Amino acid sequence: MPRPAPSIEERRSCGKALRERLHRTGQSIFSRSPGFDLVATLLQSAEGRLPELLPVKWRRMAASPFGFFRGAVPVMAADLANSPRTGITVQMCGDAHVRNLGAYAAPDGRLIFDLNDFDETMPGPWEWDVKRLAASLMIAGREAGESETRCMEAVRTLVSSYRAVMQECSAMTVLELARYQVHRNLVMMAARKVVEKAERDTPQQMLAKLTLVKNGARRFKREKPLLWPVSRAAEQAVLRALESYRKTLSPERLHFLNRYRPEAVAFKIVGTGSVGTRDYAVLHTARPDDPLFLQVKEEPPPAYARHLPARLPRHNGRRVVEGQRLMQAQSDIFLGWTSIEGRDYLVRQLHDHKAAIDPNELKGAALEDFARLCGEILAKGHARSGDPCVVAGYCGSSARLDVAIATFSASYADQNEKDHKTFCAALRAGKFRRR
């Protein structure tokens, strides 16, 4: 007979015991590895990317401390790897920041709010995601003009919300946890604004924005350096890759994809951290007023892979899909993966009611409200992929962890500002110039 599974209380006790390995107050400590080379780390992370596109990435990172933070995942990965760990593993989002939580259309058409970027996802310490998300909130709050006191309060709210939801998840049945999600009936002002943006982000709107009719055929506009039609050879390579992608879809989803026909392919630059990777937009139509945009996005290995021992899928597109499905209650119905010329790609819808927060809107009550929502969403994703009882046991019911993570976030935001200045100086000095 198999041994009975440990009880909820036994698992919570295991988490509580891990405080001896790393006290909750110890989560406040930020210490960078001696001799860390910021410029070398960023240049190394850009290897294998299209060099002609990197100036766009560097400009976006130079624009503000938050822009730098978005593009500097390898920097924070190295910093987190230099810190002590609880030893509790979950599926990390890997790039949890305030712009990577947003609204999108669920398979049933409802708008839901969740984590929506998983390029860096892999198994790892739960606290690394919490610290990155908390630091992003601190940085965004500062840029929005909020006081240090208000930013610290917002981070404490984020962590308190994370703890409360993790405690709630620890008492759920497996099926309750599998179904737990955040729907569009959100009362928080910041989230409501995002949902309103998502309602306007339709494939039909993107059809008018990104394409035109030329010689009777629908084609992508040429708007370099952000969007341009690809060569015939590149178009054929992408379309061939979509044939193998179809094998990663379930039959009922493939049934609906089969109703669309590809019409045009373009290269499209999106985001900050991903700039320089190969990224294609593919227009499909079922009829002239029924478009479907698929994004075919190159997926390099995650920035954390060099710091964490983990068995990952050999295909990085598959790694992203599996991590996303594990953390989200509902995912894009056309989520899949493929390969082009030996490189791994993720495939997903490009525009289907998607939107994210503008960090400049995180002011006043919106900062606090959004912090609470961030904590809930991240806790839900971690609870689905790890053991919520163990995490809840470590986090506890007091505010010790809240204060510690807030202290860490302030220290990391300070370091990020210094790094941003160092980066901008190196950029001006030509250290990031194409060689």
**Pair (215, 273) in one structural domain:** yes
Same structural domain for residues 205 and 104?
no
In the 8-state DSSP scheme, what is residue 120? T
Which secondary-structure segment (H or E) carries 277? none
Tell me which residue range forms the domain holding 240: 200-349
pLDDT at 190: 66
Question: Would residue 98 count as lying in a domain?
Answer: yes
Same domain? 217 vs 298: yes
d(CA 49, CA 46): 6
From the number of C-beta atoms within 10 Å of its C-beta (0-12, 13-18, 19+), residue 348 rates as buried
- With a cut of 90, say whether residue 93 has pLDDT above it: yes
Question: Residue 263 above 80 pLDDT?
Answer: yes
Cβ atoms of residues 69 and 136 within 8 Å? yes
> Within a domain: residue 413?
yes
* Mean pLDDT of all residues in 343-354: 87
- Shared-domain flag, residues 374 and 281: no
Residue 1 has pLDDT above 60, yes or no: no
Alpha carbon distance 176, 178 (integer Å): 5
End position of a domain, from candidates 297, 321, 349: 349
Confidence at 435, pLDDT banded by 50, 70, 90: low
**Burial readout 236-247 (b: 16 or more C-beta within 10 A, e: otherwise):** eebeebbeebee
DSSP state of 11: H
Paired residues of 285 in beta bridges: 261, 291
Whether residue 116 is found in the same domain as residue 135:
yes
Q: How many other CB atoms are there within 10 angstroms of residue 136's CB atom?
A: 29
Q: Of 320, 349, 378, which closes a domain?
A: 349
The average confidence (pLDDT) of the chain is: 93
Whether 376 shows a pLDDT value over 90: the answer reads yes
325 and 215 fall within a common domain = yes
**Domain for residue 434, yes or no?**
no
Task: Estimate the crossing angle of helix 388-395 against helix 148-170, to 10 degrees.
Answer: 140
3 within a domain of the structure (yes/no): no
Assigned domain for 2 exists: no
**How many Cα atoms within 13 Å fall on the side-chain side of residue 271?**
23
**pLDDT of 126 higher than 50:** yes
Identify whether residues 207 and 246 lie together within a single domain.
yes
**Residues 39 and 55 occupy one common structural domain:** yes
**421 Cβ neighbours under 8 A, 6+ residues apart:** none
Cα–Cα distance between 79 and 63 in angstroms, integer?
A: 22
Same domain for 229 and 283: yes
| CA–CA distance, 413 with 135 (Å, rounded to integer) | 6
The total domain count for the chain is: 2
Percent of the chain with pLDDT over 70: 95
With contact defined as beta carbons under 8 Å apart, do 104 and 203 qualify? no
Query: Taking the CB of residue 65, how many other CB atoms lie within 10 A of it?
Result: 20
Which residues make Cβ contacts (< 8 Å) with residue 196, sequence separation at least 6?
Answer: none
> Quick one: average pLDDT of 331-342?
96
Cα–Cα distance, 430 to 426 (Å, whole number): 6
Residues 121 and 267 in one domain: no
Query: Considering 301, 329, 349, which residue would you say is the last residue of a domain?
Result: 349
CA distance 59 to 272: 9
Q: Residue 126: inside a domain, yes or no?
A: yes
Residue 354 belongs to some domain of the structure: no
User: Does residue 86 sit in the same domain as residue 169?
Assistant: yes
Return all residues near 147 (Cβ < 8 A) that are at least 6 apart: none
Asked if residues 348 and 294 have their Cβ atoms less than 8 Å apart, the reply is yes
Question: How confident is the model over 210-252, as pLDDT tens digits?
Answer: 999 988 889 999 998 899 999 999 999 999 999 999 999 999 9
Cβ atoms < 10 Å from Cβ of 217: 10
pLDDT exceeds 80 at position 4: no
Q: What is the pLDDT of residue 112?
A: 82
Q: Return the minimum-mean-pLDDT range out of 202-206, 293-297, 305-309.
A: 202-206
Percent of all residues in the chain with a pLDDT value above 90, rounded to a whole number: 80
| Model confidence pLDDT, tens digit, residues 143-189 | 999 999 999 999 999 999 999 999 999 999 999 999 887 654 455 66
pLDDT tens digit sequence for 391-422: 999 999 999 999 999 999 999 999 999 999 99
Quote the pLDDT of residue 113: 84
Same domain membership, residue 221 and residue 144: no
| pLDDT at residue number 186 | 54
Q: 421 lies in a domain?
A: yes
357 contacts 116 by C-beta, under 8 angstroms: no
Say yes or no to pLDDT of 88 above 80: yes
